[in-house]
Chains A and B, each alone.
Chain A
Amino acid sequence: MAKARKTLHITVTAGPYGSETPVSVFRLVDAALDKGYDVDVLAYEDGVLLTAKAQRQHDDPIWTDRAEHHTDAGKAHSTTAEFVARLLEKGKGVPHLNWFV
């Protein structure tokens, strides 16, 4: 009989840009998928904003006069929604990622 795949359950309340916690959660989810575990994330309180699509990338605020630091050059910071989208793409099959809000 095949061994059941384990699932890592994570609850996250931290919203975007207020602390380092969302990035740590993204890293943890990424590593768990790499190791072959299914992952369920429940985002609540400010955590529901991690997937808000209204977020927009912005240019480097210091070197606005340097083209290589402009959003179009791919040097802007990814939004948390984009990070989650990449993780969902990675976890759309097996192992699988569910992201609940």
Chain B
Amino acid sequence: MSRYLLIETKDPLDGGDYSFELGKQLRKDRHEVSLYLLQDAVLAARRGFRFGESLLTEAKSSGLTVLADEISLRERGVSGERLSGEVRTAGMTELVELLMEGSEKAIWH
């Protein structure tokens, strides 16, 4: 079993669902997976965005840990009531900790 860190930067409607799919497959093989949403990928965390909500629901049921970059969220006005309850906000410090201590394999997409 390995610990994977997937960093997704793309809009979920522009290929950003890739890391969700990869994460689910890795979970099936019993790997630990953290998914960090950065840049346009945080658009998946908009409350009421049906496709994003389905990605987050499936991620949760698969056991993925999903984090959303707080600055990327703020830049796009996704905060408060606009933010899905299925993600936890995080910052670069936590991403560095995941990269350096919390994973053996990191993939940036």
Distance (whole angstroms) from the CB of B3 to the closest CB of chain A: 15
B39 touches A32 (CB 8 A): no
Q: Interface residue count for B (Cβ, 8 Å)?
A: 13
Kindly list chain B residues whose C-beta atoms are within 8 Å of the C-beta of A35.
Answer: 93, 96-97, 100
Residue of B nearest to A37 (CB): B100
Residue of A nearest to B97 (CB): A35
Residue of B nearest to A20 (CB): B39
B39 touches A31 (CB 8 A): no
Please classify how large the interface on chain A is, using the bins under 10, 10 to 19, 20 to 34, 35 or more. 10 to 19
Distance (whole angstroms) from the CB of A29 to the closest CB of chain B: 9
| Interface of chain B: mostly helix, strand, loop or mixed | helix
A28 touches B95 (CB 8 A): yes
Kindly list chain A residues whose C-beta atoms are within 8 Å of the C-beta of B9.
Answer: 20-21, 24
B99 touches A8 (CB 8 A): yes
- Whether B38 sits at the interface, judged by CB under 8 Å, is yes
- Whether B71 sits at the interface, judged by CB under 8 Å, is yes
| Interface of chain A: mostly helix, strand, loop or mixed | helix
A10 to B96 alpha-carbon distance, docked (Å):
12
Q: Given A20-B39, A21-B39, A24-B9 in contact, is the A30-B92 Cβ separation under 8 Å?
A: yes
- Whether A34 sits at the interface, judged by CB under 8 Å, is yes
Kindly list chain B residues whose C-beta atoms are within 8 Å of the C-beta of A34.
Answer: 93
Q: Given A21-B9, A24-B9, A27-B71 in contact, is the A32-B96 Cβ separation under 8 Å?
A: yes
Most buried by B among A21, A24, A28, A32: A24
Kindly list chain B residues whose C-beta atoms are within 8 Å of the C-beta of A28.
Answer: 92, 95-96
Identify the 8 closest CB pairs spanning chains A and B, nearest first.
A31-B92, A20-B39, A31-B96, A32-B96, A27-B92, A35-B96, A31-B93, A6-B100
